[in-house]
Amino acid sequence: LNQKIKFKPEDGMDVLIQGKVTVYEMRGQYQLMVQTMEPAGIGTLYLAFEALKKQLQNEGLFDPAKKRPLPKYPKKVGIVTSQSGAALSDMLTIFQRRAPYLELILRPTVVQGEEASRDIANGILELDRTNTIDIIIIGRGGGSIEDLWPFNEELLARAISQCKTPIVSAIGHETDITISDMVSDVRAPTPSAAAEISAPSTSELDQIISN
What local confidence, expressed as pLDDT, does residue 45 receive? 78
Predicted confidence (pLDDT) per residue in 87-133, tens digit: 999 999 999 999 999 999 999 999 998 899 999 999 999 999 999 99
Q: 46 vs 168, which has greater pLDDT?
A: 168
In this structure, of 5-9, 182-186, 204-208, the range with the lowest mean pLDDT score is 5-9
At 35 the pLDDT is 82
pLDDT digits 0-9 by tens, 121-139: 999 999 999 999 999 999 9
Mean pLDDT throughout 155-176? Answer: 93
d(Cα 178, Cα 63) in Å, to the nearest integer? 16
Q: What is the pLDDT of residues 41-56, one digit of tens each?
A: 556 778 888 889 999 9
Neighbours of 13 (CB within 10 A): 13
Q: Mean pLDDT, to the nearest integer, of 192-203? A: 95
Q: What's the whole-number average pLDDT of the chain?
A: 91
pLDDT of residue 96: 97
Spell out the residues 6+ positions from residue 55 whose beta carbon is closer than 8 angstroms to its own. 8
pLDDT for residue 112: 92
> At 105, which amino acid appears?
I
Distance CA 171, CA 87 (A): 9
What is the reported pTM?
0.79
Lowest-pLDDT range of 54-68, 153-167, 171-185: 171-185
The residue ranking higher by pLDDT, 25 or 65, is 65
170: pLDDT confidence band, cut at 50, 70 and 90?
Answer: very high
Confidence (pLDDT) at 6: 65
- Going 66 to 76 to 106 to 144, the CA torsion angle's sign is positive
Q: How far is CA 16 from CA 2, 20, 37, 181, in A?
A: 15, 13, 6, 30
pLDDT of residue 174: 81
**Cα-based angle 161, 199, 67 (whole degrees, multiple of 5):** 25
Residue partners of 156: CB distance under 8 A and separation at least 6 = 117, 118, 120, 121, 150, 179, 180
Average pLDDT over residues 55-67: 95
